[in-house]
Amino acid sequence: MAFNKTVLQVIPAMGAGGAERSALEMARAIVAAGGRALIATSGGRMTGAVEAAGGRVAIMPVHTKNPFGIFRNAGRLAALIRAENVDLIHARSRAPAWSALLAARRTQIPFVTTWHGAYRAGTPWKRFYNSAMARGDLVIANSAFTAEAIRAAADPGPRLTIIHRGADIDEFAPERVSPGRLAAIAEKWALGTPRPFVLLLPARLTDWKGHAVAIEAARLLTTGGRSGADGELRLIFAGDAQGRDGFAALLLRRVVDVGLERMIRFAGHCDDMPAAYAAADVVLSPSTRPEAFGRVAAEAGAMARVAIAADHGGARETIADRETGFLVKPGSAQALADAIVQAIDLGAEGRAAMGARARARIATAFSTAAMTAATLAAYQSLFDVRARAS
C-alpha cells in the first residue's frame, strides 16, 4: 500500500533484540511505501541499518526511567515532531512511551504502542508505570500470548489488536545462503572436519534464555551415549553478554565443571543469522520464561530448520508440536535432551521434511511482510478515523 506519512518510532536503544528488529523492519517498510521513517533512540549497533534503509535516527536519552528525564524527553520529542512534521508516534517500551504520550498530546498526533512482552506489575506504582503502554490510540500485541497478558493487566478494549511479529522469508531463505557464507560461519565456530552435528542456541547471554538448561541437556546426552547423529555434537551459543559478564562467567564455569569445553562453544554476536541457521542441524530456544513471540523459532522455521522450544509463550503459536518442530517442558534439561534425540533420530531427510513444513507455516502466518503490511494498515486506520471526525 502507498503510505506518504512520517512516522516517529521511539525505542530505548537499537541494539540486538526483537523490539529493535521490529523497529528496523517497520522503518524499511515505511520508506518502501513512500513515507518517512524516524527513530528516536539512545543509539546502538542497528542505527546504521536504519539509515541504510533510508530512515533517520535522532539520538536522545529516551532510555531513561528518571521522571524528570522522561518529562524532558517529552519536550525533545515534541520539538522533533514539529520540526519534521511527524504524523504519528509509535512507542516500543514503557519509559519512552510516557515521553511519547506527552509529546503526542502536546502536538495532537496519533499515539501507538507495541507490547513486545508482558510486564511485571506487583505494585500499584508498577501498574501505573506499565499503563503508558495501554494508553495508545492503538495498542499492538505481538502475539496472542501477549494480548492475553495485556487484557489481564490493563485492558485497552477495542484499541487492542494482535499483529504477530514475523521472520523475513526473503532474508531468511535457505537458497540465498551462499557456500562462502556457510564456510565463514563454520570457520568462526571452528567446526572442522568431519562436520559435527550442530545445535544452535541463538540468544543473548541472560539467565532466562535457557543456556543453563541446554548445558545440562548436553551433559545428559553425553552421559547417555548420544553425542550426535553421525559424529560429534556441537552446541553453539550465538549471542553476546551485553554487559552480563558475571552470568557469562557462570555459564563458562559450568561448562568446564561438566567437561564439555570441546562440545560447547561461546561464539559471541553473529552478524549473519541466516547463515548461522543454515549451518545448524537443530535450533534451540529453551527459554525459562515465556517468550512474548519467539523470534528464534520463527527465523529457524523460515530457514527450514527444526526448532526445539520451551512449551510456553509465543512458541506455542509459531511451532506446531512434532509437525514443524518440538515443544518441551520449560526448564527441563531431560525433556530438551529427549527432543534433541528425537530430532537426531529423524535423520537428515526427516529433519528436511519437518523444516519444509516449518517454512511453509512461517511464510503463511508469521512473515515480516505480513507484519509490516498489517501495521501500515493499522496506522492508516487511525488517520482515516481522524479524517472522518474532522
Using one digit for the tens of pLDDT, what is the confidence trace for 286-323? 999 999 898 899 999 999 999 999 999 999 999 999 99
In a domain, 203, yes or no: yes
User: What does residue 247 show for φ and ψ, rounded to 5 degrees?
Assistant: -70, -40
In a domain, 1, yes or no: no
What is the tally of structural domains in the chain? Answer: 2
For residues 81 and 212, state if they share a domain. Answer: no
For residue 255, what are the contacts with CB-CB under 8 A and spacing of at least 6?
A: 215, 261, 264
Q: 118-121, long-range: CB within 8 Å, 24+ apart, which pairs?
A: 118/145, 118/146, 118/149, 118/150, 118/153, 118/290, 118/292, 119/94, 119/149, 119/153, 121/153
For residues 48 and 82, state if they share a domain. Answer: yes
Q: 322-328, long-range: CB within 8 Å, 24+ apart, which pairs?
A: 323/354, 323/357, 324/354, 324/357, 324/358, 324/361, 325/297, 325/300, 325/301, 325/354, 325/358, 328/286
For residues 354 and 277, state if they share a domain. Answer: yes
Q: 338-343, long-range: CB within 8 Å, 24+ apart, which pairs?
A: 339/308, 340/199, 340/217, 340/221, 340/226, 340/282, 340/284, 340/308, 341/221, 341/226, 343/281, 343/282, 343/306, 343/308
> Domain holding 319: CATH number?
3.40.50.2000
Q: Backbone dihedral region of 331: left (phi > 0), alpha (psi from -120 to 50 degrees) or beta?
A: left
For residues 379 and 286, state if they share a domain. Answer: no
In a domain, 158, yes or no: yes
For residues 256 and 197, state if they share a domain. Answer: yes
In a domain, 240, yes or no: yes
For residues 351 and 233, state if they share a domain. Answer: yes
For residues 62 and 87, state if they share a domain. Answer: yes
Residues in the chain: 390
For residues 152 and 241, state if they share a domain. Answer: no
First and final C-alpha spacing in the chain: 24
For residues 39 and 15, state if they share a domain. Answer: yes
In a domain, 294, yes or no: yes
What is residue 228's predicted lDDT score, i.e. its pLDDT? Answer: 47
Predicted confidence pLDDT, tens digits, the chain (390 residues): 789 999 999 999 998 778 999 999 999 999 999 999 999 999 999 999 999 999 999 999 999 999 999 999 999 999 999 999 999 999 999 999 999 999 999 999 999 999 998 787 778 888 889 999 999 999 999 999 999 999 988 888 899 999 999 899 999 999 999 999 999 999 999 998 889 999 999 999 999 999 999 999 999 999 866 654 445 899 999 998 877 889 999 999 999 999 999 999 999 999 999 999 999 999 999 999 999 898 899 999 999 999 999 999 999 999 999 999 999 999 999 999 999 999 999 999 999 999 999 999 999 999 999 999 999 999 999 999 999 987
What is residue 229's predicted lDDT score, i.e. its pLDDT? Answer: 41
Q: What's the whole-number average pLDDT of the chain?
A: 94
Contact 118, 94 (CB under 8 A): no
Q: Which of 213, 172, 182 is nearest to 308 (CA)?
A: 213
What is residue 142's predicted lDDT score, i.e. its pLDDT? Answer: 95
For residues 186 and 309, state if they share a domain. Answer: yes
Contact 3, 376 (CB under 8 A): yes
For residues 159 and 287, state if they share a domain. Answer: no
Longest dimension (CA), the chain: 71
* 299 Cα distance to chain centroid: 9
What is residue 119's predicted lDDT score, i.e. its pLDDT? Answer: 82
In a domain, 182, yes or no: yes
User: Domain range spanning residue 39?
Assistant: 6-166+367-389
For residue 61, what are the contacts with CB-CB under 8 A and spacing of at least 6?
A: 42, 69, 73
For residues 258 and 139, state if they share a domain. Answer: no
